[in-house]
Amino acid sequence: MKPKVFITRKIPEEALKKISRSCEVSIWDKEDVPVPREVLEREIVNADGLYSLLTDNIDDELMERAENLKVISNMAVGYNNIDLEAAAKRGIMVTNTPGVLTETTADLTFALILAAARRLFEASDFLRRGEWKTWSPMLLTGQDVYGATLGIIGMGRIGEAVARRAKGFNMKILYHNRKRRPEAEKELGAVYVDMETLLKESDFVCIMTPYTPETHGLIGEKELQLMKKTAILINTARGGIVNEDALYKALKNGDIYAAGLDVFENEPVPTDHPLLTLPNVVALPHIGSASRKTRITMANLAAENLLLALDGKVPPNLVPYQI
């Protein structure tokens, strides 16, 4: 009998075909509507495998209904949407899609650095509104990226890829990480510092750490106050790592210069969110890994992880679980 798989969204054709060849597939076949909880609750009951997205909350209560579930394959590198402890106690494997989105996400991170520093969206809106009267010495002046100091919080694969790009901009690279990364220090000239030093000395503070209970609200009022008035905060990790109220106040009061945000605590961020009223916020709808090629590769990798697990093998991208 073919294993039963539930897929929580319309996914690229190639990945769907791969799974359909050996599985009985049920799918929430919508592009831009997340699967309703009651559908997920119904579908999980008979599923051997779940193909999920970062928008799906896969919690203990849901897994309790899933007697046959062997694997949850998340089409994302982050897996904060899955209760790992609940999965581990039931022997359910959890997989993610690391590696394949590293460079694409680093590109977007660098795009945010440049856009926030050089006020690209503000400048473009200014032009479109017909306010461009003449070239003027101090018109729409921003901050330099070239030669500035970049502080990376969380020196994993994506952090390193951002640091490689920063080298080309002759930036000084500081980093903070749970563990020191001697290879990054040697190859990229990255300097390990404590959080306080990173916040005080960086022109760009770039959040690249996973979202866990420990990193929730990692950047709050105290941390923002330590930053330079000319500094820019970049977040392409998860919104909940930053306290958004504190960030709004810091940006509004000129305690920091600008922010580039691809992620928000609640997504989609409501259009009346205070942060979106500020001209010094560049805001994007969680598109870090969104190149066509990378998303197709992620979808295929998630399919491979799922199929290997259903075949009784250990998939290559089992997420690390520590109690």
Distance CA 92, CA 133 (A): 62
Task: Work out whether 162 is an interface residue with ligand GLV (CB under 6 A).
Answer: no
* 76 vs 173, beta carbon nearer ligand GLV: 76
Task: Work out whether 317 is an interface residue with ligand GLV (CB under 6 A).
Answer: no
Residues 76, 108, 171, 206: which binds ligand GLV (CB under 6 A)?
76
The radius of gyration of the chain's CA atoms, rounded to the nearest angstrom, is: 21
Write out the H or E segment, with its range, that includes residue 3.
none
Is 31 part of the annotated catalytic residue set? no
CA angle, corner 77, sides to 200 and 201, nearest 5? Answer: 5
Q: Which stretch binds ligand GLV (CB under 6 A): 75-83, 247-255, 264-272, 310-318?
A: 75-83
Q: Which stretch binds ligand GLV (CB under 6 A): 72-80, 125-133, 176-184, 194-202?
A: 72-80
Question: Within its chain, how far is the Cα of 284 from the centroid?
Answer: 12
Q: Which stretch binds ligand GLV (CB under 6 A): 20-28, 74-82, 138-146, 267-275?
A: 74-82
Task: Work out whether 95 is an interface residue with ligand GLV (CB under 6 A).
Answer: no
Is 176 part of the annotated catalytic residue set? no
Task: Work out whether 11 is an interface residue with ligand GLV (CB under 6 A).
Answer: no
Return the amino acid letter for 126: F
Residues 154, 156, 240, 288: which binds ligand GLV (CB under 6 A)?
288
Structure tokens at 65: 């209904």
Q: How far is the CB of 149 from ligand GLV (least distance, A)?
A: 26
Which runs of consecutive H residues, i.e. helices, occur in the chain? Answer: 13-22, 37-44, 60-64, 84-89, 102-117, 120-128, 157-168, 182-188, 195-201, 221-226, 244-252, 292-310
* 3 vs 260, beta carbon nearer ligand GLV: 260
Pairing mode, if any, of strands 93-95 and 24-27? unpaired
Number of residues counted as binding ligand GLV (CB under 6 A): 7
- 79: which residues sit within 8 A by CB, 6+ positions away? 94, 96, 319
Q: Which of 287, 310, 244, 294 is nearest to 115 (CA)?
A: 287
Return the amino acid letter for 119: R
Task: Work out whether 104 is an interface residue with ligand GLV (CB under 6 A).
Answer: no
Residues 15, 77, 145, 232: which binds ligand GLV (CB under 6 A)?
77
Q: Which residue in the list 9, 238, 244, 295 is annotated as catalytic?
A: 238
Is 164 part of the annotated catalytic residue set? no
Structure tokens at 73: 């394959």
Task: Work out whether 49 is an interface residue with ligand GLV (CB under 6 A).
Answer: no
Q: Which residue numbers are catalytic?
A: 238, 267, 286
- Residues of the shown chain interacting with ligand GLV in the complex, contacts defined by CB under 6 A: 54, 76-78, 101, 288-289
